[in-house]
């Protein structure tokens, strides 16, 4: 069982020495340090220490904000740590300690709240989409052809023109005309044109 530390500062002008000293006093065998924004998901030293973790190891930070900027990011990192069978501990946030039953409970509650928040966002988004559809808002890519152009294309197909000629005339791809023909049961032998 090895204890690793992770220290991070956001700017090059900030100093890692205080965090490094606190982590060494806490018994960390090695401290991984980097100067990078917490908002960045690409943090090479964090990725390196997580890859090194084995079952029974513990990753220690001085404060939670050194590890992650958002609840979602924190939960993703903690999930990756737990998948490796390792624990996590924050020196200044005593409740954030997966090596104790109380810490596991608090982080489980935090995870549940984040999941609840995602569910609420999904429900609100779905309701908003439904209201927009009721108002006539159309989702997806805009149509390539106007209603008049679609009618003209169907009339030309019914008159025997080829789909390729109609596509060139309307400045669209042949598959656009093909889909229009497939969607129209009123064009005789539309599939063969």
User: Which are the catalytic amino acids?
Assistant: 10
Structure-block tokens of residue 151: 């009618």
Locus of tokens 């917490």: 38
The CA distances from residue 47 to 44, 52, 64, 100, 122, in Å, are 5, 9, 16, 24, 30
N-terminal to C-terminal alpha carbon distance within the chain: 72
- Give the C-alpha separation, 188 to 5, whole Å: 73
Give the number of other Cβ atoms within 10 Å of residue 3's Cβ. Answer: 18
State how far the Cα of 87 lies from the Cα of 75, in Å rounded to an integer: 13
């Amino acid at each position: 069982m090895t204890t690793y530390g992770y220290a991070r500062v956001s700017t090059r002008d900030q100093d890692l020495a205080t965090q490094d000293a606190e982590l060494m006093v806490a018994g960390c065998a090695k401290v991984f340090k980097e100067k990078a924004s917490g908002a960045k998901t690409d943090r090479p030293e964090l990725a390196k220490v997580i890859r090194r973790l084995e079952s029974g190891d513990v990753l220690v930070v001085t404060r939670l904000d050194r590890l992650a900027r958002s609840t979602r990011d924190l939960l993703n990192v903690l999930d990756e740590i737990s998948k490796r069978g390792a624990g996590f501990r924050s020196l200044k946030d005593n409740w954030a300690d997966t090596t104790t039953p109380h810490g596991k409970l608090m982080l489980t509650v935090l995870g549940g709240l984040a999941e609840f928040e995602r569910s609420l966002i999904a429900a609100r988004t779905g309701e908003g989409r439904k209201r927009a559809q009721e108002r006539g808002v159309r989702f997806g890519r805009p149509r390539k052809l106007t209603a008049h152009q679609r009618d003209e294309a169907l009339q030309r197909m019914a008159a025997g023109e080829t789909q390729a000629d109609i596509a060139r005339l309307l400045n669209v791809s042949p598959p656009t005309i093909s889909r229009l023909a497939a969607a129209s049961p009123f064009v005789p032998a539309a599939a063969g044109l």
